[in-house]
Structure 1
Amino acid sequence: MTDTLTLLPGATTAVGIRILGPVEVHGNGAVHRPRGPKVRKLLALLAVRAHDIVDVDTLVEELWDGAAPASAVSTVRTHVYHLRQELSQELGLPDMHGVISTEATGYSLRPAPGMLDVEEFTRLYGQGRAALHAGSYDVALDRLDAALALWRGRTLADVARGRVLAAHATRIEELQSRANELRIEAAMRLGRHRELVPELHRLIAIDPLNEWLHARLIDALHRSGRRGEALRAFHQVRHVLAEELGLEPCEDLVRLQRHILSGAAAS
């Protein structure tokens, strides 16, 4: 397999495997959804463990959720065969054994660079984080925007998650949350406070108990000259925290409220 098979963000003719949303295979300008819930689950498990060997016992546990039939091992082999056939057809590769390799204890997905969306996301996220720490805020924003653009919904949206997949999906979604935070920080550093307000409202609607997001919204409103709205946003989050968790706002939120009430100019 050559490195010319790359997944290009936003390109409809990309060749690749995508799990940041429903599980899809993209090739030759078409989108293919692997047939059968167990085949999709098999591909998902190999993808979240890309380049590692996933042993047969783990595959059996995940595919049958602890209630495997006596024929489970041979059925796994059959599912791997069908998955190779599907991917070969969709990606236009004559031999998928180099992409899904058979190992002594199981199987391993070995995608080319850029072929797997979660790997591309992790690469861009790492570049964005490094640029932010180096003070290159415009570069950081560009890389993090590109990373987040790869998401099409909830990780493995059309796959029933067992114990193993659930743990990996949680890890990947934590990285998405962190990428959003770093993107917001880069945009704030570039003075894009007004642009951030709608985005922060959207993220808070998804994660209403995230105090960090609420603090950034209050700060962005204040820095945009919307002092009254900033104070209302503080009172809203205080109410949500009290109602849902019986907690008072964190020190970061309280400090922002005091800063606004003191009449200090946003800096």
Structure 2
Amino acid sequence: MTTHLTPLLPVPGRAGERTRPAGKSERGALRFGLLGPVTADRGGTPLNLGPPQRRALLLRLLVAHGRPVSMDLLCEDLWMGRPPAGAVSAVHAHISRLRRELEPRSAGPAPDRVLTAGPTGYALRVPEHALDSVRFERGLERTRDLLNEGRRAVARAELERTLRIWRGPALVDAAEHPFAVREIARLDEIRLTAQELRVMVLLADGEHGPAVAAARELTSQEPLRETGWELLMRALYLAGRPAEAVRQYEEVRRVLLAELGLEPGPNLRELCRAVRQHRTAAVLGPYAESPETDRSPGRPDSAPGPSRTTGTSTSGQGTQGGLHKNSYGLRNVDG
């Protein structure tokens, strides 16, 4: 039996885009970092982006993805709805200094315009793959493609490389600006999806200890997000710690009741019942590599192992024709 992982959570992207393999940057090409403190470099040489307001201006233009931003909107966004009398002059000065960095003069032909001005405003014209946020999203897309092809080892290496693109909080230089809020939330959500996928791959590879540590970090980052708790409970069970898995359910129940006044969702409740009753097939779901592993941690090897085709799916989807598929999109297929 072989294990194929098919993640179900979509990666936000733009219609018509093709996934571009990661490679060395073109000589002299501009690259921008949004996943951490904002950075810009040309061919690996860092550029001087100036004071905080200029850095926020650069981010405002970058998140527009090449679309022009009017002077009025730039002033509103940079001063958060309260632009001073000299706002326009200040923006012009920042634009001029940014252009000097992004479009250096030389004895050769005039450089291609990167920071353009037009009747509808200013625009930053750079290839999408020049942004580390786009490279991150495309790396996650490649990971999913590799998993769909059954190339889990290569997918895991790609996922680890992709997660290392992050250097800190997204758009941190503009975190207080309303224009950045939506993009920060979108990127954070995709990062969480990638981190959850990493735990799933660790579980599928039988690395239960690292999976426990990674899932515990997820629950610490996002205590109200049930997926992390579900992954943690599965990882603990697979690591031979079912009692601790139950304690984690009790902890998330306490947190949800205290913060939201809600009970855990049906997936978590069913998973806890499966752990308490040692219904191993329901707990293991897609992480059982073979029928021989279908035994409850901490119980005798003679304990009966439920059939893979009759186990209960924690997503409520059940099983069919030798295929067990849960809400994570990982599945076991006879091979």
Q: Give the TM-score of the pair, scaled to structure 1.
A: 0.83
**Are 1:55 and 1:106, in contact at CA under 8 Å, matched by a contact in 2?**
yes
| Structure 1 residue 142: Cα displacement | 2.6
56-65 or 27-36: bigger deviation: 27-36
Give the match for residue 115 of structure 2. Answer: 100
| Structure 1 residue 129: Cα displacement | 2.8
Pairing 1:34–2:49 present: yes
2:54 is aligned with what amino acid? V
Give the match for residue 190 of structure 1. Answer: 205
User: 1:100-155 CA distances to partner (integer Å, 9 max, x unpaired)?
Assistant: 22233122222246432112112112222333344443333233222211111111
Give the match for residue 15 of structure 2. Answer: none
Give the match for residue 3 of structure 1. Answer: none
User: 1:164-184 CA distances to partner (integer Å, 9 max, x unpaired)?
Assistant: 221222222222122222333
Rg larger in 1 or in 2? 2
**Are 1:231 and 1:260, in contact at CA under 8 Å, matched by a contact in 2?**
yes
User: What pairs up with 1:119-138 in 2 under 5 angstroms?
Assistant: 119-138=134-153
Give the match for residue 82 of structure 2. Answer: 67
Gaps of 5+ in 2: 1-21, 289-335
The whole-number CA distance in structure 1 between the counterparts of 2:112 and 2:74 is 18
| Structure 1 residue 68: Cα displacement | 1.9
1:238 is aligned with what amino acid? R
The whole-number CA distance in structure 1 between the counterparts of 2:234 and 2:83 is 53
The whole-number CA distance in structure 2 between the counterparts of 1:17 and 1:95 is 22
| Structure 1 residue 8: Cα displacement | 5.8
Distance 1:136 1:47, change over 3 A: same
The whole-number CA distance in structure 1 between the counterparts of 2:102 and 2:115 is 10
| Structure 1 residue 42: Cα displacement | 0.7
User: What pairs up with 1:227-246 in 2 under 5 angstroms?
Assistant: 227-246=242-261
**Are 1:48 and 1:168, in contact at CA under 8 Å, matched by a contact in 2?**
yes
125-134 or 247-256: bigger deviation: 125-134
User: 1:203-226 CA distances to partner (integer Å, 9 max, x unpaired)?
Assistant: 211111111100000001111222
2:254 is aligned with what amino acid? H
Moved runs in structure 1, 4+ residues, more than 4 A?
Answer: 6-9, 27-33, 93-97
**Are 1:140 and 1:183, in contact at CA under 8 Å, matched by a contact in 2?**
no
Pairing 1:147–2:162 present: yes
> Alpha carbon RMSD of aligned pairs, Å?
2.8
**Are 2:48 and 2:101, in contact at CA under 8 Å, matched by a contact in 1?**
no
Matched residue of 1:158: which SS?
Answer: helix
2:61 is aligned with what amino acid? L
The whole-number CA distance in structure 2 between the counterparts of 1:139 and 1:184 is 16
Task: Tell me which protein shows more helix as a share of its residues.
Answer: 1
> Which of residues 75, 93, 98 is equivalent to 1:83?
98
| Structure 1 residue 240: Cα displacement | 1.5
| Percentage of identical aligned residues | 35
2:216 is aligned with what amino acid? H
